[in-house]
Amino acid sequence: MARTPPTRRGWFPVSILSVLLLLIVATALIVDLAWKAWYAGLADTGRNPWFRRAWSDYVDHTPPRREGERLIILLSNSQGYGREMACEDTYAGQLRSRFAVADTPTRIVNWSVPGGQFTDLITLAAAARSKQPSSIIAVVSPGSFTVPESVERALALWVSDTYRLLADPTIREALPEPLLQEARDLRLRIDIAAGRMGAAWRIRTLPSALLACNPSLAPFFHPQESINWFGRQPGLDAWTPVWRTSPNRTFEMWRYEAFLDQLTQAAPVSILIDMPLTERVRAGRTTPPDILAAAAAARGVRYLDLSADIPDQSFITATHLNLAGHDAFAARLARELP
C-alpha cells in the first residue's frame, strides 16, 4: 500500500522555503567573500588559470590603464593562451619580459580563452573598452572563424563564461543586436541575472573545472567544463557522443565585422593578426585572407599575416606553436607594436 505523507497545514510550505532561502543566501555570501579574498591574493600570472571558467571574474579583476602606463590587451584562443606551454614561454609571456625593461611601464594582459570562439572574443573586446588599453591585439585563426564551426563549438556560442559580462549595460550596448539575440536563451539569461548578484553565482561551474584538472577525475568532467587539452586522457579524441550534432555553421561575415568594430572602439591601436598555420591547414582555409584583410582595413584595424615568419617546424600541432614558434612570434610582434 502506498505510503501517505504526513499532512501539514497550508498548501505552500513557507517555513521550509524561508530556511532554504536563508541557507542559500548565506552560502552565496560566504562563497562570494571567500572568492574575492582569494582572487585578490593571487599572483598575476599573465593569463587566466581557470581555463574556460571564471572569465568574467578575471576580466573584472584586470585594473584599467593607469596614468603613464601602457596597457596591451591580447585576445586569442588556445593559440594565444599557449597550448602545452609554460606561461612565460608563450609569446605573451615573452612580450611581458621584453617590455619589463621598457622606459614606459607596460602591462600586458592575456585574455586568450582556450577553445574560445568568436562570440567569446567579441564580448571580451567589448569589455576591454572600459580598461582603456593603449593597444589591443587579436590573434585569430581558422578555429575561430575561417572554417565551419566544429562539433564542440556547435554546443554553445560562448565556450567560456564571458557571456556573464552581458550583465554590464555598457557592454550590452556596445554589442551588435544579432549577438544579443543569441543570448536570449533562458538558461543564459538566468546565469547573467544571477551573475549580477555576486561571484558565488558566476563561479558555480568552477569546482567542476578544478576537478577536471585532476587526471584521476578528468574523465568524469570531460569535456565541457575543462579545456580539452588539460588533463585529457588518451583515446578520448575519438569520442563524439551521439547527442552532439553540428549544425554545420559556416563563416559569418557580420560576426567578423562586429569583432573588428569592437577592436576599433576598444583602443587607439588595434591589430588583428591572422594566426600563422602549417601549410596543410592554410591550404584548407575556406575564407580567403584578402577578404578578411580588406574588411579590417576598411575599419582601421591593422591586419597582419605572419605566416611567412613561422615555418611548419614551429608548430606542435597543425595550429599551435612550439617554443621556437612563440619566440619568432614574440619577436615579430615586438617590432610591430608602437
Cβ proximity of 286 and 250 under 8 Å: yes
| Residue 53 grid cell | 571558467
Scanning residues 107 to 166, which ones bind another protein (CB under 8 A)? 155-156
Q: Which stretch binds another protein (CB under 8 A): 15-23, 112-120, 170-178, 265-273?
A: 15-23
Q: Is 215 near another protein (CB under 8 A)?
A: yes
Cβ proximity of 325 and 317 under 8 Å: no
Q: Binders of another protein: how many residues, by CB under 8 A? A: 46
Gap between the Cα atoms of 54 and 164, Å rounded: 10
Q: Which stretch binds another protein (CB under 8 A): 87-95, 127-135, 223-231, 254-262?
A: 223-231
Cβ proximity of 200 and 39 under 8 Å: no
Nearest to 164 by CA among 138, 208, 194: 194
* Least distance (Å) between residue 119 CB and another protein: 16
Q: Is 238 near another protein (CB under 8 A)?
A: yes
Q: At what angle do helices 323-336 and 91-100 cross, to 10 degrees?
A: 50
* Least distance (Å) between residue 168 CB and another protein: 23
Binding mask 47-66 for another protein (x = CB under 8 A): --------------------
Q: Note the residue count of the chain.
A: 338
Gap between the Cα atoms of 104 and 265, Å rounded: 23
User: What one-character-per-residue DSSP string does 260-287 give?
Assistant: HHHHHHH-SEEEEEE----HHHHHT-SS
Cβ proximity of 76 and 114 under 8 Å: no
Q: Is 323 near another protein (CB under 8 A)?
A: no
* Least distance (Å) between residue 15 CB and another protein: 5
* Least distance (Å) between residue 55 CB and another protein: 15
Q: Is 232 near another protein (CB under 8 A)?
A: no
Q: Is 30 near another protein (CB under 8 A)?
A: no
Q: Which stretch binds another protein (CB under 8 A): 13-21, 115-123, 163-171, 317-325?
A: 13-21
Burial class (CB in 10 A: 0-12, 13-18, 19+), 148: middle
* Residue of 41, 68, 169, 235 interacting with another protein (CB under 8 A): 235
Gap between the Cα atoms of 227 and 215, Å rounded: 13
* Residue of 37, 40, 101, 186 interacting with another protein (CB under 8 A): 186
Q: Is 216 near another protein (CB under 8 A)?
A: yes
Point out which residues bind another protein (CB under 8 A).
2-3, 5-13, 15-16, 19-20, 22-24, 27, 155-156, 186-187, 204-205, 207-208, 215-225, 233-236, 238-239, 241, 243
